Amino acid sequence: MKKESKNQKKALGFASITSQDNFGKTIITPHASPIFTSSTYVYESAEKAQQVFKGEAEAFIYSRWSHPNAELVENKLEQLETFGLNIKAKALVFSSGMSALSALYQSVLKPGDKILAQGNIYGTAVDYFNQYQETFNIEVIYADFKNLAELESILKAEKKIKLIYTETPSNPTLNCYDLKALSLLGKKYNAKVAVDNTFASPYLQQPLKFGVDFIIHSSTKYLNGHGTGLSGFLVGRDVELIKKQIWKIRKLNGTICAPFDAWLLNIGMKTLSLRMEQHCANALAVAKFLQSNPAVSKVNYLGLKEHADHALAKKQMKNFAGVLSFELKKGYKAGEKFMKKIKLCKLTASLGTIDTLIQHPASMSHSFVPKEQREAYGITDGLVRLSVGIEDVKDVIADLAQALK
């Protein structure tokens, strides 16, 4: 019987061949990033594995901790939010914008602390703050963020406020808030300032430039741009806090963005600048049309010179984004009727996709927000929110015109 030489490898069994991934000496250099669906990662030696788990060497460990698709979009957003600025920041990608908000909540607040929040923010953010007030003993104080004097008096009186939470442009009233002034108040009264930058995206607005501490994105919206996957971002100027404390919260909660959703997000981000330019141009055309319609009493779009915040938005933003809202003269019933007549525009409670989306907050996204609370901040029964897409704007206007008759 012929002996096997020392250099001759023993042939693997059939089941072993099917079970193993072996690229051999092939060098794989894909033009587009692949989807890394592996849950775990292999080390070339026991020594390297020990170094990695001790934190002495960097490598992927487990996809709940991090994975290549996540790091790719995180690195990209860090560059976008700091583009042209001499600022360092760290981004983490989450399974949704709300999981990003949850990680911020868990990292900067403790029982007994308080939040100073803008009254007209995303409905689910309001629901989150309200839901957990008693559970975690973290009180939320809602205020009009236009009134800076009132904010300062609240901060002066409430020493336990540790987070100032804003959203600009606001959802769904489309107000603009002074990020620099809010940041100065935060520093003066030892409170972190966080802004939801979803409506603007980093292409139109870079909050770090104005001194904010944290940025949140529902990257399901403009950053993905196609409505194909869920994801969210938390970006912070305190790099060590993000890399250690907030990263650990994401790891323990298991709220990292899945590889496939991160892959879709990266594809969407490739065309962000092109899409945002067209969103802005179309939204302005639609806003001007709505201004002249007899069924509409008011149009909220920062690109209109008549808007009270137009000058601030022009100073703080590159352009005015693709979302607007408008008031129907006949209130709630008119909103319901209008929703039933829409044909081209998609009736759904989301925004930031390439097609035009429309919704009636009082009966949809803000239906669980107490009526008195939403109306106090301009979210009335007749308010309609419109996320203008990049279609032929004449078709969008024609659909709105027939539905308003």
Catalytic entry in 142, 177, 196, 381: 196
Distance CA(43)–CA(245), nearest Å, equals 26
Neighbours of 312 (CB within 10 A): 20
pLDDT category of residue 3 using cuts at 50, 70 and 90: low
Segment 8-18 shows an average pLDDT of: 74
For the chain, how many helices (H) and strands (E)?
17, 12
What are 240's two structure tokens? 């060590």
Give the separation between CA 387 and CA 141, rounded to whole angstroms: 29
- pLDDT above 70 for 2: no
- For residue 19, the tally of other CB atoms under 10 A from its CB is 9
Averaged pLDDT of the chain: 93
> Of the listed 64, 180, 251, 314, which one is catalytic?
64
Q: ∠ at Cα 372 (290, 309), nearest 5°? A: 40
pLDDT per residue as tens digits for the range 365-381 = 777 777 887 787 778 88
Question: What pLDDT, on the 0 to 100 scale, is given for residue 172?
Answer: 86
Report the alpha-carbon distance of residue 386 to residue 272 in Å, rounded. 19
At 1, the pLDDT band (50, 70, 90 cuts) reads very low
Give me the mean pLDDT over the 168-176 stretch: 93
Residue 8, pLDDT score? 52
Q: CB–CB of 260/229 below 8 Å?
A: yes
The reply to whether 222 belongs to the active site is no
Q: Which of 221, 275, 374, 385 is catalytic?
A: 221
The per-residue pLDDT for 196 is: 98
**Proportion of the chain above pLDDT 90, given as a percent:** 80
Residue 19 banded pLDDT, cuts 50, 70, 90:
confident
CA–CA distance, 139 with 109 (Å, rounded to integer)? 11
221 is catalytic: yes
Mean pLDDT over residues 139-167, rounded?
97
- Residues 209-254 pLDDT 10s: 999 999 999 999 999 999 999 999 999 999 999 999 999 999 999 9
CATH topology of domain 273-403: Aspartate Aminotransferase, domain 1 (3.90.1150)
Q: How confident is the model at residue 9 (pLDDT cuts 50, 70, 90)?
A: low
Q: How far apart are CA 201 and CA 217, in angstroms?
A: 8
Query: From CA 282, how far away is CA 290, in angstroms rounded?
Result: 12
- For the question of residue 248 being annotated catalytic, the response is no
Residue 5 confidence (pLDDT) above 70:
no
Q: Is the pLDDT of residue 148 over 90?
A: yes
Q: Which residue is catalytic, options 76, 114, 122, 177? A: 122
H or E segment to which residue 100 belongs:
helix 97-108
| 186 close to 197: Cβ distance less than 8 angstroms | no
User: Would strands 161-167 and 114-118 be described as parallel, antiparallel, or unpaired?
Assistant: parallel
Q: Which residue has the higher pLDDT, 342 or 367?
A: 342
Confidence class for position 160, pLDDT limits 50, 70, 90: very high
Map out the domains of the chain as residue ranges: 52-269, 273-403
Question: Residue 139 has which token pair?
Answer: 């009180």
pLDDT in tens, 66-76: 999 999 999 99
pTM over 0.85: yes
Query: CATH code for 52-269?
Result: 3.40.640.10
Active-site residue, 203 included: no
Residue 197 is classified by DSSP as -
